[in-house]
Structure 1
């Protein structure tokens, strides 16, 4: 992914003319690795998203992938499963079937966004109306942020791709400026990043997340 001039605090800003699909695919592969790492006994464990256990977060990620696929197919950003208990999640998935459910959602996403013309088509997603390429950049931010959430919950934080976090942080600082929090913006106030923070820590802090090894969480979900 090419980048343009540095964004706030020196983070590389995404190039608005670039194709975010390869970056999304990298982020999805990373998320798939984390899905494969989850054991059924961990589904009730907490995550840095205070509204989501590990299992609820898996449901949210699968549902969000289906939702952005639906947008690429020409549908709206409505709920994929109106009966789901979590935002844009899916229900009826067996405890050991989440990797397969995510793989199916990724296949639908890839097919929905295969046409290059869709990058410049105006679409409506939960965070606004914009060209498809910008909607997909926002989706990268969401997938990467939730990868941090899941990796923290699973104790696999050191296995994350830092380049993805640099991209997502630049998107976050454009799409979720510090002065726009609360109300319809699903992020809490930015918090100071920890000492020695890398791009993932900065991304999490920018979106209002904090997490301790003891399992207490604070912040809000995206």
Structure 2
């Protein structure tokens, strides 16, 4: 059914679910490319956006995450069961956007109403950008579906170079000949060169517990 809708959410969902397997508890406090967000806060955001965009696809006005802005993500708010719950929420998101009806009319998420095609594209952008954020923060490899990236580059290129508060930061200059992922990241206000600070390694043989 995915070939009947503009975007297939399966690839980014599979990518994030694979990345989750590489997240160690010690990673949760690590910084991410999102200013002031730890990995735990990023995971909390992924859980919230999964619910909100699933409800948007299903046209469930009044459901969680639809009628008003989401709460600020935080490590404290992250569910203790995120390892089992987040993969399920991501799968439900992908299934919801397989329905051609999800792409018709308008859709509501975070208190914002958009044409459904635009909302679906925003949802895809969130998955790809935050998938990359998670991969970089936890030093894992990341790849994105070229077909989705082509649409995102076109979509993001239509926005303001100064960014959109709450969605995109100011564009980061990059060579127009760069690959699609790098261009999409820069258009969304990400620094494609971002790397986490080097972690201090505990010397072997050093006691770490009491």
TM-score if structure 2 supplies the norm length? Answer: 0.74
Cα deviation, 1:55-92, whole Å, max 9, x if unaligned, reads 11111011101011122331247538x9x863499935
Three-state SS of the structure 2 residue aligned to 1:41 is helix
- 1:131 paired with 2:118, answer no
User: Kindly tell me: are residues 90 and 30 of structure 1, through their superposed partners in 2, closer, same or farther at Cα, counting changes over 3 Å?
Assistant: farther
User: Kindly tell me: are residues 41 and 214 of structure 1, through their superposed partners in 2, closer, same or farther at Cα, counting changes over 3 Å?
Assistant: closer
Instruction: Decide which of 161, 164, 188 is 2:144's aligned counterpart.
Output: 161
Counterpart in the other structure of 2:10: 25
Question: If you compute each CA radius of gyration, which structure gives the higher value, 1 or 2?
Answer: 2
Counterpart in the other structure of 1:8: none
Between Structure 1 and Structure 2, the one with more strand by share is 1
8 Å CA contact 1:43, 1:55 repeated in 2: yes
Counterpart in the other structure of 1:178: 161
8 Å CA contact 1:60, 1:89 repeated in 2: no
- 1:208 paired with 2:208, answer no
Instruction: Decide which of 14, 32, 46 is 2:31's aligned counterpart.
Output: 46
- 1:191 paired with 2:172, answer yes
Work out the CA distance in 2 between the residues paired with 1:90 and 1:111: 29
Unaligned runs of 5+ in 1: 3-17, 217-222
TM-score if structure 1 supplies the norm length? Answer: 0.71
Q: CA deviation at 1:114?
A: 5.2
Three-state SS of the structure 1 residue aligned to 2:113 is strand
- 1:67 paired with 2:67, answer no
Q: What is the root-mean-square deviation in Å for CA atoms of aligned residues?
A: 3.3
8 Å CA contact 1:62, 1:90 repeated in 2: no
Moved more, 68-77 or 39-48: 68-77
